[in-house]
Amino acid sequence: MAVTGLILIAFLLFHMYGNLKVFIGEEAFNHYAEWLKTDMLYPIFPKGGFIWCFRLVMLAALVLHMWSAITLWLRAKKANPDSYAVKKRLERTYSSSMMRWGGIILAGFLVFHLYQFTIAPRDPASPYNSVVTDFSQWYFVLFYALWLIAVCMHVRHGFWSAFATLGANTSEESHMVLNALAWIVALLIYIGFILPPVCILFGLIGA
């Protein structure tokens, strides 16, 4: 759960950074999207080959992450069938159910996101145009702003607990450092992702 979660957070940071190329302009953004799909790690991999390896690794990480979540959920249920009877566990139960439901929301809307920009983009010839056209609509910006809250809440708790699982939460001081880092990463992801849609909506990009 911890390792696959950190792989997915690394993907988010990479994706967020790439999206910021929209600020440079249409040519730079489309060139970047084209490079991802055809030239990434060429000629070590054949043209267009690496993106499929990348997608397979991401899919494997996602499937293993969800499988671990379900396995742990079932194990916790079996070990503690009447969790309400144990008051001390309430806080942990609260954050675990936030993670469960947050994860379900996150993954559910990811299907929509993939449909919108990868499977059926508005302008298949220009990812820039697809992004600018869609985020000129306020309801898409609102939808992403809300979805990203679920993503970032999941990342904040996930980042913290992944490092705790891996043994980094050894003292009061490391607890504080991990907590601060988790907030920084979550806020960075939120701001970095929402900035392009908001700037598009207000005509600062693509006007």
The residues binding ligand HEM (CB under 6 A) are: 12, 15, 19, 33, 55, 106, 110, 113-114, 117-118, 127, 131, 144, 151, 193, 196-197
Q: How far apart are CA 156 and CA 182, in angstroms?
A: 5
Q: Which is nearer to ligand HEM, 152 or 178 (CB)?
A: 152
Closest CA relative to residue 68, chosen from 15, 18, 20, 5: 5
Q: How far is the CB of 151 from ligand HEM (least distance, A)?
A: 5
Question: Is the separation of the CB atoms in 159 and 9 below 8 Å?
Answer: yes
Structure tokens at 191: 């701001």
Q: How far apart are CA 5 and CA 18, in angstroms?
A: 20
Q: Which residue is nearest to ligand HEM (CB)?
A: 117
Q: How far is the CB of 32 from ligand HEM (least distance, A)?
A: 9
Q: How far apart are CA 36 and CA 50, in angstroms?
A: 9
Q: Which is nearer to ligand HEM, 77 or 113 (CB)?
A: 113
Q: How far is the CB of 121 from ligand HEM (least distance, A)?
A: 7
Q: How far is the CB of 145 from ligand HEM (least distance, A)?
A: 8
Q: Which is nearer to ligand HEM, 12 or 185 (CB)?
A: 12
Element (H, E) at 125: none
